[in-house]
Amino acid sequence: MKALEDKILSQGKVLPGNVLNVSSFLNHMIDADFSMQMGAEIKRLFAGEKIDKILTIEASGIALAVATAAALHVPMLFAKKSKTSNLSGEFYQAKIHSYTHSNDYTAIVNRNYISKGERILIVDDFLANGEAVRGLIKIVSDAGAVLAGAAVAVEKGFQPGGRMLREQGIHLESLAVIESMTDSSVTFRKQ
Amino acid sequence: MKALEDKILSQGKVLPGNVLNVSSFLNHMIDADFSMQMGAEIKRLFAGEKIDKILTIEASGIALAVATAAALHVPMLFAKKSKTSNLSGEFYQAKIHSYTHSNDYTAIVNRNYISKGERILIVDDFLANGEAVRGLIKIVSDAGAVLAGAAVAVEKGFQPGGRMLREQGIHLESLAVIESMTDSSVTFRKQ
């Protein structure tokens, strides 16, 4: 999505440790109109797929997920982050490692809100190592639902998450794929 | 907002401790189309106010806040929850007590994203004791911005948050105000 690449170039900041800071429009301050445009673009990219529900994880995935859900006129469900496993049986859960924060957390989703056979599209703001998406895929699978695909705003193409998901045959769409970053430049993969 | 009251009556569940569970459409699973309708209603209720930015707090305020921001064509900013005070000076911050979780946390907002004189509308899903809204008001004030008002989906009218904000002269709009709840009934305040 050319408009997203332009926005990353004009507003993004590369920080030490291969961190791309896009908090001025994507994950702290949100350009709401632009989120709606990204949601409409994800709808277009998955035009061939039946999608019953959007699944994301709190907090920074929510804005894009609700924009996508509004474009598709389907519900959105966000997994909550819990520090502990919940043993009550009320939740589907997946353990996720955060490279950003160097810790583990458990993503939980109330069992009432995913049904067997439902077609789920996972949406998130960033894809790097793919830990969060893999956790959400486990939840979709545990629920007996069907993974329609995954869509992210920004994929770090030099980290393995995207490649691993594609190798599994998952329909993954990334609105912008960063091929490489230096302090002074960001290079995108041609799509 | 009659449609919200109807949805609370048909889908909400009253749990012990005066908890209203609306996680099937408001704060775990999100009815995205309905969120957009609520955002449009908040726009209508603040039609007389100039609003430059929406401010909310992660995670369950984000969906309604982005819907409101999209309706108004302004940016949305969400405060992040931190377990510790951040001493770097990079953030505006406010200590907030959570009655739900019986703990304190610090809401933080990057100083770059609120400007002096900007007119801010605070949006959240729930208003009970008003702790979160008061924390966000402190951040608006610390930034030298102007509080245009506050809008919430559901106000628990039998808890003091709404009354205290109105007594301070704050323009508060609650799409539904719950006057009382029992295990078997929910009564709304006439608006």
Q: How confident is the model at residue B146 (pLDDT cuts 50, 70, 90)?
A: very high
Q: How far is CA B138 from CA B104, B164, B165, in A?
A: 16, 15, 13
Q: Which tokens belong to B17?
A: 């401790």
Q: What is the pLDDT of residue A101?
A: 79
| Beta carbons within 8 Å of A151's beta carbon, 6+ residues apart | A42, A45, A46, A68, A121, A122, A123, A124, A172, A173, A174, A175
| pLDDT for A98 | 86
pLDDT 10s digits, A86-102: 667 899 999 999 887 78
User: Which residues are bridge partners to A168 per DSSP?
Assistant: none
User: Cβ of A52 under 8 Å from any chain B Cβ?
Assistant: no
Residues 6+ apart with CB under 8 A from B63: A62, A63, A66, A76, B30, B32, B35, B125
How large is the average pLDDT for residues A55-64? 97
pLDDT tens for residues B93-142?
999 998 877 889 999 999 999 999 999 999 999 999 999 999 999 999 99
B67 has a pLDDT exceeding 80 = yes
The pLDDT value given to residue B87: 64
Supply the pLDDT for residue B184: 82
Give pLDDT, residue B169.
98
Q: Looking at the partner chain, which of B35, B74, B78 has a beta carbon nearest the beta carbon of A28?
A: B78
Q: Report pLDDT for B86.
A: 63
Contacts of A23 in chain B (CB under 8 A): 110, 113
Ramachandran assignment for B121, one of left (phi > 0), alpha (psi -120 to 50 degrees), beta (any other): beta
pLDDT number for residue B120: 98
Distance CA B154, CA B141 (A): 24
Asked if B58 lies within 8 A of A58 by C-beta distance, the reply is yes
Note whether B18 and A56 are within 8 A (CB).
no
Whether the per-residue pLDDT at B18 is higher than 90: the answer is: no
How open is the CA angle B174-B36-A123, to the nearest 5 degrees?
120
Q: Is the pLDDT of residue B51 over 70?
A: yes
With 90 as the cut, is the pLDDT of residue B183 above it? no
| B-chain residues near A113 (CB < 8 A) | 23-24, 28-29
Reference A106, options A68, A125, A132, A140; nearest CA is A132
* Cβ proximity of B182 and B14 under 8 Å: yes
Q: Which amino acid is at B70?
A: A
**pLDDT (mean) for B149-159:** 97
Nearest chain A Cα distance for residue B167, angstroms: 30
Tell whether the model's pLDDT for residue B57 goes beyond 80.
yes
Strand-strand pairing, B146-156 and B172-181 = parallel
Query: Residues A92-132: pLDDT tens digits?
Result: 999 999 887 788 999 999 999 999 999 999 999 999 999 99
Window from A48-62, A72-86, A128-142, B154-168 with minimum mean pLDDT: A72-86
d(CA A79, CA A92): 9
Running DSSP on this structure, what letter comes out for residue A185?
A: -
Contact A75 B30 (CB under 8 A): yes
**pLDDT over 90 at B83, yes or no:** no
Three-class HEC string of chain B: CHHHHHHHHHHCEEECCCEEECCCCCCCEECHHHHHHHHHHHHHHCCCCCCCEEEEECCCCHHHHHHHHHHHCCCEEEEEEECCCCCCCCEEEEEEEECCCCEEEEEEEEHHHCCCCCEEEEEEEEECCCHHHHHHHHHHHHCCCEEEEEEEEEEECCCCHHHHHHHCCCCEEEEEEEEEECCCCEEECCC
